[in-house]
Structure 1
Amino acid sequence: MENFLFIVREDLQRLKETGAQQQRIQEMTKWCEGLAESGNYKGGDPLKTNGSYITKDNVLSDGPFIEAKECISGFILLHAENMEQAIAIAQTCPYVLDGSMALEIRPMLTATMMS
């Protein structure tokens, strides 16, 4: 089994709608509970939309930023056999299915890969 990070990307305007964020968290929790039952879910959490963006020469605070139309609203840690299975799992997300969310999938390096 490999470990994968699902980066949850959502439209900022949709997240600002009254009650929408809480409802979406509840739906995602239900989906993740199903992933846990299958043994694929390792963890994850929703994220607040505010934060800071740090580069070598700059710190931009109080995001999300004006030019951003989407934000990273959460993350999911997942076990899967390979990238193909991780993609198949991501495609079952109710908000991916309705087109209101994107999941970026990144394989995680293990200690043996880094040595």
Structure 2
Amino acid sequence: MRKKEITMKFMMLMIPAVYQGGKPAPGFKPDPEKMEEMGRFNEEMGKALKIESLNGLHPLTQGARVSFANGKPSVTDGPFIEAKEVLGGYWLVEAPSKEDVVKWAQRCPADDGDTIEIRQIFGPEDLTE
């Protein structure tokens, strides 16, 4: 009988340099060659880790931000949103350890100035005393 491997869930959050400051060039579209390279990376990582979901996100200039103060929501539509770091995409993965995810993040074909933030997702075991 094979022992079940313990895994944890992690979000890998891509913060691309081109989105820093929230203002990529008007009409920005990802480079097709870069997307192919990222596709190959995702395929290889998917052989080692379980990828539950992954997606790229449109620039913040095309989004909206809902903030809360004094019990009331306030909506700011792009392109008027100011932010220093903006998500450009994410991976939701299962892995035996954070170290495994970090190793894969280091292999990502990221551009200079890009950042990948890795955060473990709370599981039921984290919420009990």
More helix by share: 1
Q: Is the 8 A contact 2:15 2:87 kept in 1?
A: yes
Q: Is the 8 A contact 2:58 2:88 kept in 1?
A: yes
Instruction: Tell me the equivalent position of 1:7.
Output: 13
Instruction: Tell me the equivalent position of 2:76.
Output: 60
* 2:97 counterpart of 1:82: yes
The 3-state SS of whatever aligns with 1:94 is coil
Q: Is the 8 A contact 2:19 2:87 kept in 1?
A: no
TM-score (normalizing by structure 2): 0.71
Evaluate the alpha carbon distance shift between residue 64 and residue 101 of structure 1 in structure 2; reply closer, same or farther with a 3 A threshold.
Answer: farther
More strand by share: 1
Segments of structure 1 that go 5 or more residues without pairing to the other structure are none
* 2:107 counterpart of 1:92: yes
Instruction: Tell me the equivalent position of 1:37.
Output: 47
Letter of the 1:21 counterpart: P
Which structure: larger Rg?
2
The 3-state SS of whatever aligns with 2:45 is helix
Structure 1 residue 48, shift from structure 2 partner: 1.0
Q: Distance in 1 between matches of 2:30 and 2:39?
A: 12
Q: Distance in 1 between matches of 2:27 and 2:75?
A: 30
Structure 1 residue 27, shift from structure 2 partner: 2.2
Letter of the 1:59 counterpart: V
Evaluate the alpha carbon distance shift between residue 64 and residue 107 of structure 1 in structure 2; reply closer, same or farther with a 3 A threshold.
Answer: farther
Identical residues among aligned pairs (%): 21
The 3-state SS of whatever aligns with 2:88 is strand
TM-score (normalizing by structure 1): 0.78
Letter of the 1:2 counterpart: M
Q: What RMSD in Å do the two structures reach over aligned CA positions?
A: 2.6
Equivalences, count:
112
